[in-house]
A = this chain, B = another copy of it.
Amino acid sequence: MSIRVMLVDDQVLLRTGFRMVLAAQPDMEVVAEAGDGVEALEVLRSTAVDVVLMDVRMPKLDGVETTRRICAEPGAPKVLILTTFDLDEYAFSGLKAGASGFMLKDVPPAELLGAIRSVHSGDAVVAPSTTRRLLDRFSPMLPSSGKEPEHKGLERLTDREREVMMLVAQGLSNGEIAARLVLSEATVKTHVGRILTKLGLRDRVQVVVLAYETGLVRAGGGAL
């Protein structure tokens, strides 16, 4: 029997993309969609779902709280948190809320499909050790008693910064990045600097390490 997947994301375009990818799979089908958490909970009351692909950032009810409510029900579907870059308290709170794992939205489709199957079969897609380490490293402020996550923790990276970070993670110099993005080197330096302070890292070397450890980039990605 195929895996019944539900998509929860406020970006329609992104849902469409995922739906097309999943439609090509013989063992998966998208049986439901929702644009926010409230809608998701509503739909779930009347639809049998195996795996929920859940965005963290949504209007009305965010992914974390939605996940918490979903997982509170007996016989709840598995929840796979999707983030753009994050590594912020949202994603980790999602795990604490009962999600089976989290993934980056820009992973190659094969990765995502594998993750869905893993989650469906009961596995977590993030190694617990990795999670723990990242938690220790990036969230020294978790309330432990699950109140509101207190957004003060990590500052989010902007889209542009994440874009730069991808290139840093591939070993490019500031000059090369500037050329690639058609920018001045000064701008690249500004971005890199902000990335370092936001993530609490020392230099671009640690950026590469972090990128690989978190799966922002992964071995075999063509970096070399």
Which residues of A are interface residues toward B (Cβ below 8 A)? 127, 129-130, 133-134, 137, 168-171, 173, 202-206, 208-210, 212-215, 218-224
Contacts and interface: CB of A to CB of B under 8 A. Distances in A.
The 10 closest A-B pairs by CB, nearest first: A171-B206, A208-B208, A171-B209, A212-B212, A130-B220, A127-B220, A171-B205, A209-B223, A213-B219, A137-B224
A117 to B, nearest CB: 17
A78 to B, nearest CB: 21
Contacts of A171: 202, 205-206, 208-209
A222 B170 contact: no
Contacts of A212: 208, 212, 219
Contacts of A221: 213
A134 B208 contact: no
Contacts of A127: 220
Nearest to A127: B220
8 contacts: A171-B202, A171-B206, A171-B209, A208-B212, A210-B224, A212-B219, A213-B221, A213-B224
Contact of A205 (B204, B214, B222): B204
A170 B219 contact: no
Contacts of A214: 219
